[in-house]
Chain A
């Protein structure tokens, strides 16, 4: 194959200079890129406004594409449901009769629980929902795990608020734009969540691995054994995530640190709920007297 047209400028001095200046500009641009890279590594939220500006344009597009995806994926399920609706109805009626007693017992327990809590004068921070929206896209080409939420400052979403789905914790809000927000998913390598084991309340820390799983590390006892199926919920330590939200279950038997799979699938065609941080952030410390 003959070589493609060269950008060599021939004998024109002017063209030679402009080519040379182009290379100088490119090298300068690379240096600027390196400087920006260092700055954004040291202070990640610095360029949030720029990213939010672009996300403001791309989020409605993603949202529209998401609607098409939902329409296509809902179709087979809808047809399938139509066919065994009678059988399902009978089975559910049977189940309902069987579970009436359980429900009654649960109601009584619930009432009793509430009364006892009132007796103890337990004060619980109330979890308030800020917004409910869909996660419409994510950083699928990057090794970082961010998702874009279709709600932003106008809907009351602010950085630091926890995001959860119906099955469990999804992550927390990192940056917000007017109508979109960037969510740090649990699976991101820089996400840390304080958790405890449901079985015995052992504290642990869940850190993302970047490959879709998270690592659960013991935070209380050294050498804590983890067995397959151990479930972990948020402990409420740190004040961001409300306690008791399901996080992950262990998939491999190990001691001290074990890989776990998150309960919430952020790619499910469903809603994510943004909540207020469990405890309000502390006021800034008073200025030291001189």
Chain B
């Protein structure tokens, strides 16, 4: 699968444990973006953990075990400030939805991946807003901007994930 390994035939393959851990760790790193030292007064950052999760899931269906998004969602809930359980629920639903879409498609293009990711990001952000914030709060414009930024940044996340995936060479 990987051109890097084809060009370096004598390199040892990445140990299986590390290759399994890398997708999980990169998603957690994406979730931990909230530790940057900025005290924001409205949601300014797109959900990087979710972007990385979707990028891995769409590139490699075997990157995560089916139930692992539950645990990744738990970690995201602990650092994101959303009520505990929201990412656990919505991230799992999103990955199950991606699996459902995958069974219908034979030939794939990046546009399809992007569309699936956009739907999943919309599900998670809108769902998260509904459970976390009272309906009369004025967060909807900020949320739409955040959604747009998240969808626009998905190709970047996909690019980074593809690069990482080639580096670990599996």
Residues of chain A whose beta carbon lies under 8 Å from any beta carbon of chain B: 1-7, 19, 22-23, 25-30, 32-41, 44, 47, 50-51, 53-54, 58, 61-63, 65-66, 69, 135-147, 185, 187, 189-190, 208-213, 266-267
Contact = CB atoms under 8 A, between A and B. Distances in A.
B34 A37 contact: no
Q: Which of B44, B46, B47, B67 has the most CB of A within 10 A?
A: B67
B133 A140 contact: no
A33 B89 contact: yes
A30 B40 contact: no
25 contacts: A3-B108, A5-B60, A5-B62, A23-B66, A23-B99, A26-B69, A27-B96, A32-B88, A33-B85, A33-B90, A34-B89, A51-B78, A69-B37, A135-B39, A139-B81, A139-B82, A140-B33, A141-B81, A141-B146, A143-B43, A143-B142, A146-B81, A189-B133, A190-B134, A210-B133
Contacts of B40: 138-140, 145, 267
B66 A3 contact: no
B162 to A, nearest CB: 11
A62 B133 CA distance: 25
Contacts of A58: 32, 34-35, 79
Contacts of B128: 142-143
A142 B81 contact: yes
Contacts of A47: 84
B7 interface: no
A66 B132 CA distance: 27
A54 to B, nearest CB: 4
B83 A37 contact: yes
A140 B44 contact: yes
B88 A33 contact: yes
Nearest to A170: B39
Interface string B54-75: 0000111110011101110111
B20 interface: no
A63 B133 CA distance: 28
B5 interface: no
B139 A141 contact: no
B153 interface: no
Given A1-B107, A54-B78, A140-B45, A26 B85 contact: no
B37 A6 contact: no
B106 to A, nearest CB: 6
A23 B107 CA distance: 24
Contacts of A51: 78, 84
B134 A138 contact: no
A142 B43 contact: yes
Contacts of B86: 33, 37
B58 to A, nearest CB: 8
B97 to A, nearest CB: 11
B88 A141 contact: no
A43 B16 CA distance: 41
A189 to B, nearest CB: 4
